[in-house]
Amino acid sequence: MAIGFSETSMMLQLINQPAPEKMFHDHYAFYSSTSNYMARHFKDFADEVLQSGYLTIKDPFVLELGCNDGIMLRNFAEKGIRHLGIEPSLNVAAEANKHGVRILSEFFTEQLAESIVQEQGMVDAFLAANVMCHIPDIVGVVKGIRRVLKPTGVVMFEDPYLGDVVSKTSYDQIYDEHVFLFSALSIQYLFGLHGMDLIDVLPQKTHGGSMRYVLAHRGAYPVKNSVTELIARERAQGLDRLTTFKTFGANVEQSKRSLLILLKELKSQGKRVAGYGATSKSTTILNYCGIGLDLIEYISDTTPIKQGKFTPGMHIPVVPYETFKANPPDYAVLFAWNHAEEIMAKEKDFISAGGKWIVHVPEVRVL
Ligand code: SAH
Ligand code: TMP
């Protein structure tokens, strides 16, 4: 897997990505609602949209891209607000449907935007979380957004933030689904090419550091100071320059060396090490570092569809959470480090029984 950076578009992206149909289908493995913290986050997000003042008062229409199991849209459905979720993965879409969420099970494209406008009208708010960065034809998505959004409408979407990936060396955000890692610079450039303004940015704690971008048709709303300030910070951090990513690459190699030294040392001391959370991120770490069964005996995960399977490439067994509880290791590698707060609160017993966490961001260490 290789990544590239363009100093023109200031975009960091994968060079190759598998076909979307190979990743998003009727047995997509990620269910958003496995995290209680994320459920709260999306309830707050929905409330912020409703209180933002951007929606028309009479019969507002909200569209969400990649709504998954309805973690955010169920908050609109419960209030009887007109909404539509676009979700190509049938298994998670069915779950959303159970929560009263209206779904169109398709990939979002410019053509789909046209048919939504024809059949249901334009939208007040176009929402998305952790999905814009998944879509290789991002230009098609931006054109679709421009078509479907009312003249007074707003786009609000969030994704893992490039600034955090660079400052924390969290290279595990780079995997097949994440074709892009966005910054305010790249989003402003991309949407600017299509007549849209970045009007606000709101940093988020989720997924190890995310950014929420607010956009609108050009001139519809003033650009907030938050945008100008973040753009200046990004230039100071070097997110507009290739050299920054060369340094990032060297930091990634150092992170790999440190993790391997630690795991091999623990192995030589006869310690048992397991993984916590069979995340997509862990697939990058395991394969890039070459960590297999010799160093990690299993990875536990609460998602039923992941259990009883093996991690892609390194073939470490993914076991139910109950296995971790019944047979805890001496050390657990926190692959779901973005959920650290929630997990630490839940796993006090593991610590009091002498268990220890291994984290790799912002640097490899034992907690
Ligand atoms: N918004 C949720 C889910 C993120 S996972 C959350 O933040 O937790 C990404 C979701 O986007 C998956 O459910 C996937 O099926 C969906 N998706 C992928 N490509 C898409 C596309 N082109 N259009 C709409 N949804 C897409
Ligand atoms: P994510 O990092 O992409 O959100 O995926 C988190 C994964 O970790 C998901 O497969 C569910 C799993 N998980 C647990 O096993 N236990 C937990 O307490 C949490 C929050 C997540």
Q: Are strands 196-204 and 180-181 parallel, antiparallel or unpaired?
A: unpaired
Task: Among the bound ligands, name the one nearest to the CA of residue 274.
Answer: 2
Alpha carbon of 359 to ligand 2 centroid (Å): 15
Counting the structural domains of the chain, the total is: 2
DSSP string, 116-154: HHHHH--EEEEEEES-GGG-S-HHHHHHHHHHHEEEEEE
* Alpha-carbon separation of residue 223 from 142, 256, 291 (angstroms): 19, 41, 46
d(CA 213, CA 184): 8
Please give the average per-residue pLDDT across 187-195, as a whole number: 98
> What is the percentage of the chain residues whose pLDDT exceeds 90?
97
Q: Are residues 26 and 174 in the same domain?
A: yes
Among protein residues, the one with the nearest Cα to ligand 1's atom 20 is 107
Residue 265, Cβ neighbours under 10 Å: how many? 10
- pLDDT of res. 109: 96
User: Cβ(83)–Cβ(73) under 8 Å?
Assistant: yes
Among protein residues, the one with the nearest Cα to ligand 2's atom 12 is 277
Residue that finishes a domain, picked among 186, 217, 240: 240
pLDDT surpasses 90 at 121: yes
User: Cβ(161)–Cβ(209) under 8 Å?
Assistant: yes
- pLDDT of res. 265: 98
Q: Are residues 194 and 211 in the same domain?
A: yes
Alpha carbon of 279 to ligand 2 centroid (Å): 6
- pLDDT of res. 354: 96
Please give the average per-residue pLDDT across 1-28, as a whole number: 93
Q: Which of 19-28, 80-89, 195-204, 268-277 has the lowest mean pLDDT?
A: 19-28
- pLDDT of res. 29: 87
- pLDDT of res. 103: 97
Q: Are residues 230 and 261 in the same domain?
A: no
Task: Among the bound ligands, name the one nearest to the CA of residue 208.
Answer: 2
pLDDT-based confidence at residue 93 (cuts at 50, 70, 90)? very high
Cα dihedral sign, 213-214-216-221:
negative
DSSP string, 82-103: EEEEE---HHHHHHHHHTT--E
Q: Are residues 159 and 291 in the same domain?
A: no
* Nearest CA among 41, 126, 37, 29 for reference residue 75: 41
pLDDT surpasses 90 at 56: no
Alpha carbon of 131 to ligand 1 centroid (Å): 5
> What is the percentage of the chain residues whose pLDDT exceeds 70?
100
Average pLDDT of the chain to the nearest whole number: 97
User: Cβ(77)–Cβ(57) under 8 Å?
Assistant: no
Q: Is 79 exposed, middle or buried (0-12, 13-18, 19+ CB in 10 A)?
A: exposed
Q: Is the N-terminal amide bond of 88 cis, ω within 30° of 0?
A: no
Task: Among the bound ligands, name the one nearest to the CA of residue 21.
Answer: 1
d(CA 355, CA 362): 21
pLDDT-based confidence at residue 194 (cuts at 50, 70, 90)? very high
User: Cβ(279)–Cβ(340) under 8 Å?
Assistant: no
Q: Are residues 12 and 153 in the same domain?
A: yes
- pLDDT of res. 168: 98
Q: Are residues 142 and 9 in the same domain?
A: yes
Q: Give yes or no for residue 332 CB within 6 A of ligand 2.
A: no
Q: Are residues 215 and 264 in the same domain?
A: no
Task: Among the bound ligands, name the one nearest to the CA of residue 334.
Answer: 2
- Total residue count of the chain as it appears in this document: 367
pLDDT surpasses 90 at 62: yes
* Nearest CA among 306, 349, 253 for reference residue 29: 306
Atom number of ligand 1 nearest to Cα 32: 8
Q: Give the CATH number, domain containing residue 231.
A: 3.40.50.150
Q: Are residues 225 and 257 in the same domain?
A: no
Please give the average per-residue pLDDT across 104-127, as a whole number: 97
Atom number of ligand 1 nearest to Cα 109: 22
Q: Give the CATH number, domain containing residue 342.
A: 3.40.50.720
d(CA 201, CA 211): 7
Please give the average per-residue pLDDT across 141-166, as a whole number: 98
**pLDDT tens-place string over residues 281-317:** 999 999 999 999 999 999 999 999 999 999 999 999 9
pLDDT-based confidence at residue 57 (cuts at 50, 70, 90)? confident
How big is the CA angle at 364 (ends 306 and 133), to the nearest 5 degrees? 50
| Residue to probe by mutation, ligand 1, list 24, 84, 91, 142, most atoms within 8 Å of CB | 24
Residue that finishes a domain, picked among 206, 240, 274: 240
Alpha carbon of 243 to ligand 1 centroid (Å): 32
Alpha carbon of 334 to ligand 2 centroid (Å): 10
Residue that finishes a domain, picked among 240, 275, 306: 240
pLDDT-based confidence at residue 115 (cuts at 50, 70, 90)? very high
Q: Are residues 77 and 26 in the same domain?
A: yes
Q: Are residues 133 and 265 in the same domain?
A: no
- pLDDT of res. 1: 81
- pLDDT of res. 82: 97
- List CB contacts of 1: < 8 A, sequence separation 6 or more: 14, 16, 174, 175, 176, 284
Alpha carbon of 138 to ligand 2 centroid (Å): 27
How big is the CA angle at 189 (ends 211 and 19), to the nearest 5 degrees? 75
- List CB contacts of 37: < 8 A, sequence separation 6 or more: 206, 339, 341, 342
Q: Are residues 36 and 153 in the same domain?
A: yes
Please give the average per-residue pLDDT across 138-142, as a whole number: 98
CB-facing half-sphere around the CA of 225: CA atoms within 13 A: 0
Q: Are residues 44 and 186 in the same domain?
A: yes
- pLDDT of res. 140: 97
Helix (H, G, I), strand (E, B) or coil at 300: strand
- pLDDT of res. 70: 98
Helix (H, G, I), strand (E, B) or coil at 31: coil
Which residues are 217's β-sheet partners? Answer: 196
> What is the residue range of 232's domain?
3-240
CB-facing half-sphere around the CA of 193: CA atoms within 13 A: 13
Alpha carbon of 33 to ligand 2 centroid (Å): 10
pLDDT surpasses 90 at 264: yes
